[in-house]
Chains A and B, each alone.
Chain A
């Protein structure tokens, strides 16, 4: 059977060739050597090929669908046993949530109760979550950063050509609109970042807006422009600085709290911008971390480099 054209295109695209580009033949002197793969192990089916012959494959599918269906039914049956959502008499309405709601503002100082819970009451968990972000970005760098193992010279040449093409055909409308919008986006991001203890928002939300602004900037003005103010060094400095600031604040709070020492961080007057002790600096640190991570994900998935 002849493979349809769209499928061939899809294949070419998944293999990293730009569908719109002609084959780069002229400036690739040495044809790339096929990567030396390890000899695949004989035993054990490969993940992508599926096991054995066609009957085996059908059986695998039938089994997968069957087990998913059974799992879904069992889960639905379990949900029937759970209490109705939002009832007053439910188990989670207990002394834990009561104290969060009734004393949260006095004890921690932020009028946004959710921020109180995630950054102070359960600050250790949230620090763990920030480390998940850090870890995610590091894992992506480990896998996708351009190196001699994962990128051939042809890939690099393609990437350079793509950049060139991008520079020539850059969208003028996007550039102009971005120039107008950028200050507003940045202001909005900073507002959400710094008001996390007063209104819905905070580091995670504000940081994603800032990260989005960086991505927009990259699209509108090209990667060189972004590199001029946000390169490797800035990226690492900001990311590590933010996480260490966060770690110091949270460690201090935990150590002081656990050993019954006096806490010198002032709580301030609830509702004012400079209040709630460690929450504001933590929100800023989380925001910077999130912005860096988002932009890193975008750029490493795209070009494998900052």
Chain B
């Protein structure tokens, strides 16, 4: 007999899908919003239970989706890491929706708000499925759902800028899906499997045959590149700043906090369960990911320094932060992967905090988006100012905040035994340069929002009235607390992650 909590991953996925479908009938945006928040809260609790149980027992389980066991049917699988990430995603989505509420009601027409929440529901469902899937093709199906829903929440604002951003995002995203699908179909052709546990021995057997070196490197490369395009790794990041910078606040927060990470989780699963990290390293794919990650950390920060628009600056910072994740993955060690997962969690809280606070600061400055006009916004809306300060300092890497721990564990993973000398130097110098550049653009921004007085607007008078709602305050407080807690009490989490990577 199956333990009851093993049903919960399946419940989470279908709750998301069903809520999305039912929301079609709810024409009132407010009710749709409550339903979505309720669904996310329930899923957070369910994932939390799965996390607690699996972490306590130190086990993982697979769940046959139907009477026929895999490889004939579909299968879900969960261990502590999957459940933890799915819980974090739920929480971040709740906070983003709460914090972006004011902008959401302004940016989206009332009669179309329920459609926005349908997209959010299905986005959540696809993220759960990406976390829990044990099958490459199920992964692909939910990547499709994720892509359409993510493009739609950018598009929802319906201004010229967002439509252009959506087109660009859609094209890049579909290229990524296509390349991923090529990789998966090649994998199926030469191994005959789609299920991850069956792929692992088949792929390991192929590794002993030198005739398969080229196709294996190609398909591993295509799967990685496909997912990298969708998660905006450095040379493929061009769609990100406009999409994240121009969307409504809640969308920006969800996109950079959560959606990018869904694909990375699938990539981690492919790395650990279809290949082994050592095999990815020996194919050279690991080194490529490492170099691109380091490139992203520097390049994203350089562009963020040059960017005058607050939201786009934060979006460029996302490019750099995704680079940190890929840097950890590129090391191809347990510690590197654990560091990458920690960065996923830390960034999932920090970036939405920054986006939500910036949304508040912009609203308190007459909807002016340039950093120059945000002068004194922190004084006009202290809650948003404090949120921005915490988030920015965490990105810079101030100790006691989550960003510092990321840099620490990444550095430790790079300094560990067995890492080639050049990889260590690349990783450490990327961390150093990126921290410096982060300080270069976040500190002036923080100073700017706390400066006295108002920006000179050439005589144009903007309304600075902004009364932060209760939900905005709650979201900023919760995410700020999460960033501080992750920074102060990171040790048990990192230990758990390092232990659980083998359960992936």
Chain A residues at the B interface, C-beta cutoff of 8 Å: 35, 37-38, 40-44, 46-48, 74-75, 77-78, 81-83, 90-96, 99-100, 107, 120-125, 127-129, 131-132, 134-136, 138-139, 141-143, 145, 147-150, 236, 239-240, 243-244, 247, 251, 253-260, 263
Contact = CB atoms under 8 A, between A and B. Distances in A.
Contacts of A141: 115
A213 B67 CA distance: 37
B158 A150 contact: yes
21 contacts: A38-B161, A44-B241, A47-B167, A74-B218, A82-B186, A91-B193, A91-B202, A121-B73, A122-B137, A125-B135, A132-B141, A138-B115, A139-B119, A142-B155, A147-B111, A149-B109, A236-B25, A240-B22, A247-B14, A247-B18, A254-B10
Interface string B288-319: 00000000000000000011110010000000
Interface stretch (B144-152, B226-234, B272-280): B144-152
A255 B17 CA distance: 16
B151 A139 contact: yes
Contacts of A139: 119, 148, 151-152, 155
Contact of B74 (A40, A92, A125, A148): A125
Interface residues of A: mostly helix, strand, loop or mixed?
A: helix
B167 A78 contact: no
Contact of A44 (B24, B155, B158, B242): B242
B160 interface: yes
B420 interface: no
Interface residues of B, number: 76
A50 B155 CA distance: 21
Interface centre among B64, B142, B189 (most CB of A within 10 A): B189
Contact of A148 (B109, B142, B190, B307): B109
Q: Which A-B residue pairs are the 9 nearest by beta carbons?
A: A257-B67, A91-B192, A128-B141, A124-B74, A257-B66, A81-B215, A92-B192, A124-B65, A142-B115
A37 B246 CA distance: 13
A83 B190 contact: yes
B443 interface: no
Contacts of B242: 41, 44
B115 A255 contact: no
B141 A37 contact: no
B63 interface: yes
Most buried by A among B67, B149, B182, B188: B67
Contacts of A121: 66, 68, 72-73
Interface in B259-296: none
B81 to A, nearest CB: 22
A81 B161 contact: no
B7 A258 contact: yes
A141 B23 CA distance: 14
A142 B68 contact: no
A132 B152 contact: no
Given A83-B190, A135-B152, A258-B64, 11 more contacts: A47-B167, A78-B214, A129-B141, A131-B21, A142-B112, A236-B25, A243-B21, A244-B22, A251-B14, A256-B67, A258-B63
Contact of B189 (A83, A100, A122, A254): A83
B118 A138 contact: yes
Contacts of A125: 74, 135, 137-138, 141
B10 A90 contact: no
Nearest to B133: A124
B21 A132 contact: no
B71 A96 contact: yes
Contacts of B63: 258
B152 A91 contact: no
B306 A123 contact: no
A262 to B, nearest CB: 10
A132 B148 contact: yes
Contact of B25 (A138, A240, A259): A240
A47 B165 CA distance: 8
Contacts of B68: 107, 120-121, 257
A244 B167 contact: no
A224 to B, nearest CB: 23
A156 B156 CA distance: 22
B489 interface: no
Contact of B214 (A81, A260, A263): A81
Given A128-B138, A128-B141, A240-B22, A91 B10 contact: no
Nearest to B165: A47
Nearest to B63: A258
Nearest to B163: A143
Contacts of B66: 120-121, 123-124, 253-254, 257-258
Contact of B312 (A41, A48, A100, A138): A41
B370 to A, nearest CB: 10
A123 B319 CA distance: 37
Nearest to A108: B68
Nearest to B171: A47
B109 A47 contact: no
A107 B67 CA distance: 10
B412 interface: no
A258 to B, nearest CB: 5
Nearest to A100: B72
A96 B214 contact: no
A93 B189 CA distance: 10
A129 B140 CA distance: 10
B115 A99 contact: no
A18 B335 CA distance: 63
